[in-house]
C-alpha cells in the first residue's frame, strides 16, 4: 500500500493491525468497540464497548472544531471500557475523502506502480500532493482488459487525518489504522448480511444509517456498494422538536429523549410526525436509487444509527416501502463477554456499525 506524506502508519483501504479498538467519531458521540477472535472459525467475541456524548458543535460536517472536547470524550470512553489496548482504528467521513478507480498497465513493478499512481492522482485531486495523504489498493485485472489493472485511489487533506490523530494522541491513544467510514460500515455489514435469508446473495440491501444530523443510504449488492446518498435528516431534528413542543433546553430535550421521560402527548404530537418524515425521506432516497441506477428494487432494508430504534420505525418503513426491514445488530451472532449488557446492547447496537467495522480491521488479512 502506498503511503504518501504519512507521518504515522495509516492505511485508508486495508490493514492488518495489532490488537486495537475501533473508534467512530460521529457528530454527536464517540463510539468504541473491542472485539477478539472466537475459537470457532471466523467467529468473534464482543469484548467491550462505550458510547460517550460529545458537546454540541464539537464536530461539524465531519470536521473537529473542538480538539480538547473530542480528546476528553475519547479518554472518558476509553477509561469506561476498562481495556488495556491503546491502539485505535479510526475513519474519515466519505465527504472528506476523494476516491477514484483508475486503470494502469498490468505487470508493473511496485515502485513504478507507486510512481504512476502518484502521477494519476494529480488529475483527480484538487490540492497539491504535499497537502494530502494518499493511498491506493490494487483491485485486480480490469474487467474488460486483462492487460490492465484496476486500482482504487483514495486521498484526503492532511488536516482531516491529523486532527483525528491528534485527538487520539491527547487521549493517550495511538492511531494505527485510518479508514473511510463507508468501507468500515461495509465490513461490519458482512456480520448482518449472514443474518439475512441465503446471505442476501445476488440481492440488493439498503443499509440506512440515520445519525444525529445526516441519513446515509448505502445500497449494497453482494456486499459491494452500488449506490450511496446522504440526506439531511436525523436525531437532532427530533431533539429540536422536543425543545419547541415542551419548552426544554437543548440538554434537557436530549436527556428526556434518551430516558423516555416525556409527556403523554409526545408520541402523537412529536414522535409520530418525525417518524413519518423519516419514512418519507427513506422512500424518497430509494426512488433516487431506482431512477439513477440499473436496479429497480431493493430486497431488504437494514436500519442503523441512533434513530434506528425509534419505536415503530422499522414497521413503518416496511409498510411504506413494502420491503422486509430489520434493525441492524452486527453483534447478533457474536459471543458476548461478561462486560456486555444484552438489554442495553439492543438499544446501542445499530449505532455501532462503523465502530464495529473499524474493530474488525484487527483481523483483516489483506
Q: Which residues pair with 330 in a beta bridge?
A: none
For residue 241, pLDDT over 50 is answered with yes
- Domain 1-97+161-192+332-366 in CATH: superfamily? ATPase, nucleotide binding domain (3.30.420.40)
Please compute the mean of the pLDDT values over residues 200-214 and round it to a whole number: 91
For residue 242, pLDDT over 60 is answered with yes
Q: In the chain, what percentage of residues exceed pLDDT 90?
A: 48
Torsion-angle region of residue 250: left (phi > 0), alpha (psi -120 to 50) or beta? alpha
Domain boundaries, the chain: 1-97+161-192+332-366, 98-158, 196-328
Please compute the mean of the pLDDT values over residues 125-140 and round it to a whole number: 77
Residue 176 near residue 18, CB atoms below 8 Å: yes
pTM of the model: 0.86
Q: H or E stretch including 107? A: none
pLDDT of residue 284: 94
Residue 234 near residue 214, CB atoms below 8 Å: yes
For residue 2, pLDDT over 50 is answered with no
54 vs 108 pLDDT, higher one:
54
1-97+161-192+332-366 and 98-158: same fold? no
181 vs 102 pLDDT, higher one:
181
134 vs 273 pLDDT, higher one:
273
209 confidence band (pLDDT: 50, 70, 90): very high
For residue 1, pLDDT over 60 is answered with no
Q: Give the pLDDT confidence of 216-226 residue by residue, as tens digits.
A: 999 999 888 88
Please compute the mean of the pLDDT values over residues 229-239 and round it to a whole number: 86
Fold designation for 98-158: Dna Ligase; domain 1 (3.30.1490)
Q: What's the rounded Cα separation, in Å, for the pair 264 and 108?
A: 68
CATH number of 196-328: 3.30.420.40
86 confidence band (pLDDT: 50, 70, 90): very high
CB burial of residue 68 (10 Å; 0-12, 13-18, 19+): exposed
Alpha helices in the chain (DSSP H): 67-81, 110-124, 158-170, 181-193, 235-246, 250-259, 266, 272-292, 313-321, 342-348, 353-360
Average pLDDT, the chain: 86
110 vs 75 pLDDT, higher one:
75
111 vs 172 pLDDT, higher one:
172
Q: Which residue has the cell 486495537?
A: 20
pLDDT of residue 276: 94
pLDDT of residue 183: 86
Q: Give the pLDDT confidence of 112-124 residue by residue, as tens digits.
A: 777 887 787 777 7
pLDDT of residue 156: 84
Amino acid at each position: 500500500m502506498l503511503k504518501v506524506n504519512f507521518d504515522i502508519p495509516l492505511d485508508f483501504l486495508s490493514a492488518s493491525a495489532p490488537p486495537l479498538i475501533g473508534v467512530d467519531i460521529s457528530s454527536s458521540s464517540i463510539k468504541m468497540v473491542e472485539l477478539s477472535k472466537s475459537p470457532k472459525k471466523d467467529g468473534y467475541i464482543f469484548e467491550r464497548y462505550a458510547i460517550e456524548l460529545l458537546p454540541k458543535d464539537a464536530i461539524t460536517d465531519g470536521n473537529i472544531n473542538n480538539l480538547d472536547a473530542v480528546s476528553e470524550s475519547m479518554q472518558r470512553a476509553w477509561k469506561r471500557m476498562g481495556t488495556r489496548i491503546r491502539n485505535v482504528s479510526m475513519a474519515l467521513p466519505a465527504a472528506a475523502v476523494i476516491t477514484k478507480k483508475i486503470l494502469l498497465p498490468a505487470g508493473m513493478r511496485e515502485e513504478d506502480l507507486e510512481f504512476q499512481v502518484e502521477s494519476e492522482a494529480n488529475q483527480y485531486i484538487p490540492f497539491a500532493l504535499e497537502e494530502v495523504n494518499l493511498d491506493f489498493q490494487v483491485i485486480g485485472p480490469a474487467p474488460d482488459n486483462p492487460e490492465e489493472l484496476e486500482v482504487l485511489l483514495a486521498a484526503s487533506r492532511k488536516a482531516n487525518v491529523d486532527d483525528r490523530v491528534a485527538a487520539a494522541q491527547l487521549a493517550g491513544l495511538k492511531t494505527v489504522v485510518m479508514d473511510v467510514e463507508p468501507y468500515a460500515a461495509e465490513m461490519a455489514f458482512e456480520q448482518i448480511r449472514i443474518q439475512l435469508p441465503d446471505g442476501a446473495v445476488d440481492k440488493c440491501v439498503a443499509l440506512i444509517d440515520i445519525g444525529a444530523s445526516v441519513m446515509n443510504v448505502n445500497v449494497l449488492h453482494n456486499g459491494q456498494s452500488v449506490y450511496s446518498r446522504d440526506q439531511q435528516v436525523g436525531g437532532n431534528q427530533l431533539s429540536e422538536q422536543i425543545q419547541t413542543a415542551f419548552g426544554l433546553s437543548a440538554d434537557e430535550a436530549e436527556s428526556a429523549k434518551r430516558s423516555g421521560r416525556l409527556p403523554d402527548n409526545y408520541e402523537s404530537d412529536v414522535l409520530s410526525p418525525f417518524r413519518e418524515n423519516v419514512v418519507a425521506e427513506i422512500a424518497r432516497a430509494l426512488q433516487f436509487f431506482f431512477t439513477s441506477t440499473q436496479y429497480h428494487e431493493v430486497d431488504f432494508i437494514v436500519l442503523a444509527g441512533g434513530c434506528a430504534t425509534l419505536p415503530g420505525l422499522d414497521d413503518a418503513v416496511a409498510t411504506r416501502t413494502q420491503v422486509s426491514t430489520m434493525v441492524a445488530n452486527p453483534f447478533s451472532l457474536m459471543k458476548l463477554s461478561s462486560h456486555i449488557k444484552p438489554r442495553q446492547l439492543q438499544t446501542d447496537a445499530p449505532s455501532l456499525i462503523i465502530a464495529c467495522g473499524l474493530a474488525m480491521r484487527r483481523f483483516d488479512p489483506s
